[in-house]
Structure 1
Amino acid sequence: MTLPSWRDNQLGTMKRAALWLVSVVGEGNVFTKEDVKNAFPGISQADRRVRDLRDYGWRIDTHREDGQLGQSEQRFVAQGQPVWVKATKDSSSITETQRRKILTSDGNRCRSCGITPGQAYAGSFETAQIDIARRKVKHNGSSRVELVAECNRCRVGGRGLEADLDTVLDGVSKLGGLQRQMLADWVAADEREFGAVELLWGDFRTLPAESRNKVRAALGLPPA
């Protein structure tokens, strides 16, 4: 089936943007905001219309989902509904009201690691951004999808993973006294606190090789 031309002004910006992604960018490839601007000169909301395609099942990743992307880059991962034929919103899309409710219920922090928006990750200058992620969970033998607040690192690193209640309970039963108390403290506070050793590890990893060897010597280890 021949696609309409993405240059047809009568189609509207979102339909044209969808056709541009399919015809020019191609699935799996990277484009920038500047590319969108150049493709649709004089249209101030073109970049927003590209984002709107996510409501129709289109997967367009940013640096939040794909750590290999720069802040101005996006990756066209997969096509959703052919909006140039019939635009029916995907009922699975998250509304702004749902998003605020989930963020509030999760304390406006990452459900997985507990970091808050703008907080720097241990041992780095990178700061966390919190958004909504779909997480597969298994409970009493059946699987379902939970909407949770997660930071950019956990959202990318945990993609495709499934949390299993039975596996978690089995892991808890095998913990030693000190580890069990540490987990209990985190659960009670509903927040994970990084200990001195974890913070030192993060700082150690940021040091240049010569400095890391001095740390290794202080720990009685040979140079790397």
Structure 2
Amino acid sequence: MPSWQDANLGTMKRVALWLVSEVGEGNTFTKEQLRDAFPGVSQVDRRMRDLRDFGWRIDTNREDAGLDSHEQRFVKPGVPVWEPGRATRKTGTLAIGAGRRREVLSNDGNMCRSCGITPGEMYAGTYEAAQLDIARRDVTKPDGTKATELVTECKRCRVGGRSLTADLRKVLNEIAGLSQVERKVLSDWVAADQRQFSRLEQIWSDYRSLPEDSRAQLRTELELD
């Protein structure tokens, strides 16, 4: 590998080399350490974030609750962008600027599309307020091709959903098999972008979240054990 101190390389390439050679996979670093390594280099933070478009995983405390707000973790490298021809962005790569972020949040109803929580709302049974962010999600299209799209998720769901792939083709096939009554019910939910769960469904959801000892007590109450 070339040296991360080679001034003839672009900033993003130098940051990638610095992460590999100085920080090390799995280790943490701070913004101050990054800036100290590249004194006088403008937008070095942004160039580091650009690495995520090439498969580099660099976590903040939004993805890793064990990190402080000033810390980041170099989880794993991606494309070796310092190699000739490897730093070209793939067609369709989505940059998330402030304007694009506001647009995605608005289109998603300013709520996590996985669990429905809104910013500042407390997670059930905790004093932790939800924070929303924009995640990249691979989507399987009806023709079998895959695309990367943006979706709003809270910190909890984003951490748990990194490896998930949405399957639009499967959803459309399932819809095709619905009866007219089922299709009408689904259409109402989609139009309102929300669904009210029945009392029974809510109890089932609450049951699923109980620890085993409590689930066993409930089964006894229902005379199942």
TM bucket (normalised to shorter chain) is: 0.5 to 0.7
Alignment of 1:61-210 (within 5 A): 61-65=59-63, 69-72=65-68, 74-79=73-78, 82=81, 92=93, 93-121=95-123, 127-140=130-143, 142-155=145-158, 156-157=160-161, 159-165=163-169, 167-175=170-178, 183-204=186-207, 207=210, 210=213
CA change 1:112–1:145 in 2 (3 A) is same
Contact 1:109 1:130 (C-alpha < 8 Å) held by counterparts: no
Task: Please report the TM-score for the alignment, with normalisation by the length of structure 1.
Answer: 0.64
Contact 1:113 1:192 (C-alpha < 8 Å) held by counterparts: no
Kindly provide the amino acid, as one letter, of the partner of residue 120 in structure 2.
G
CA change 1:45–1:178 in 2 (3 A) is farther
CA separation in 1, counterparts of 2:162 and 2:179?
26
Report which stretch shifted further, 13-22 or 147-156: 13-22
CA displacement, residues 160-179 of structure 1 (integer Å, 9 cap, x when unaligned) = 414233x2132124457886
SS in 1 for 2:22: helix
Contact 2:28 2:73 (C-alpha < 8 Å) held by counterparts: yes
CA change 1:101–1:158 in 2 (3 A) is same
SS in 1 for 2:141: strand
Q: Which runs of 5+ in 1 are unaligned?
A: none
Residue equivalent to 2:24: 26
CA separation in 2, counterparts of 1:42 and 1:164?
44
CA change 1:103–1:205 in 2 (3 A) is same
CA separation in 2, counterparts of 1:180 and 1:220?
36
Task: Using the aligned pairs only, state the percent identity.
Answer: 41
Kindly provide the amino acid, as one letter, of the partner of residue 164 in structure 1.
L
CA separation in 2, counterparts of 1:217 and 1:123?
24
Kindly provide the amino acid, as one letter, of the partner of residue 53 in structure 1.
M
Q: 1:52 Cα deviation (Å)?
A: 4.1
CA change 1:203–1:70 in 2 (3 A) is farther
Contact 1:137 1:163 (C-alpha < 8 Å) held by counterparts: yes
Residue equivalent to 2:3: 3
CA separation in 2, counterparts of 1:143 and 1:207?
36
Kindly provide the amino acid, as one letter, of the partner of residue 161 in structure 1.
T
Q: 1:60 Cα deviation (Å)?
A: 1.1
Residue equivalent to 1:55: 50
SS in 1 for 2:147: strand
CA separation in 2, counterparts of 1:163 and 1:75?
30
Kindly provide the amino acid, as one letter, of the partner of residue 60 in structure 2.
T
CA separation in 2, counterparts of 1:179 and 1:185?
10
SS in 2 for 1:139: coil
Contact 2:12 2:50 (C-alpha < 8 Å) held by counterparts: no
Q: 1:136 Cα deviation (Å)?
A: 2.1
CA separation in 2, counterparts of 1:160 and 1:20?
30
SS in 1 for 2:151: strand
Task: Please report the TM-score for the alignment, with normalisation by the length of structure 2.
Answer: 0.64
Alignment of 1:207-222 (within 5 A): 207=210, 210-222=213-225
CA separation in 1, counterparts of 2:34 and 2:47?
17
Contact 1:123 1:201 (C-alpha < 8 Å) held by counterparts: no
SS in 1 for 2:102: helix
CA displacement, residues 189-216 of structure 1 (integer Å, 9 cap, x when unaligned) = 1124444345434544565554443322
Q: Which has the higher contact order (CA 8 A, sep 6+)?
A: 1
Q: 1:95 Cα deviation (Å)?
A: 1.9
